[in-house]
Homo-oligomer: A and B are copies of this chain.
Amino acid sequence: MAITSNTRTAAHDIDPVFLNRWSPRAFNGEPIPQEVVMSMFEAARWAPSAINIQPWRFVYAHRNTPQWEPLFHCLMDMNQAWVAQASILAFILSDRHRRKPGAEPSENRSHSFDAGAAWAYLALQANHLGWAAHAMGGFHVEKAHTALNAPEADYRIEAAIAIGRPADASVLPESYRAREAPSGRQPVESFVFEGRVSALT
Contact = CB atoms under 8 A, between A and B. Distances in A.
Contact of A39 (B12, B50, B159): B12
A176 interface: no
A58 B61 CA distance: 36
A100 interface: no
A119 interface: yes
Given A61-B195, A159-B110, A200 B121 contact: no
Given A14-B43, A159-B113, A48 B196 contact: no
Contacts of A45: 10, 185-186, 188, 191
Interface residues of A, number: 79
| Interface residue SS majority, chain A | mixed
A95 B200 CA distance: 9
A118 B114 CA distance: 11
Contacts of A130: none
A191 B150 CA distance: 13
Interface string A93-134: 111000000000000011011111111110111001000000
Interface in A163-199: 183, 185-186, 188, 191-198
Contacts of A158: 110, 113
25 contacts: A10-B42, A10-B45, A12-B38, A12-B42, A14-B128, A15-B124, A18-B46, A23-B48, A38-B188, A41-B191, A41-B192, A42-B188, A57-B192, A57-B201, A58-B191, A61-B194, A66-B195, A70-B196, A112-B116, A113-B158, A115-B116, A116-B116, A116-B119, A149-B196, A149-B197
A-B pairs, top 3 by smallest CB distance, nearest first, are A116-B116, A67-B195, A117-B120
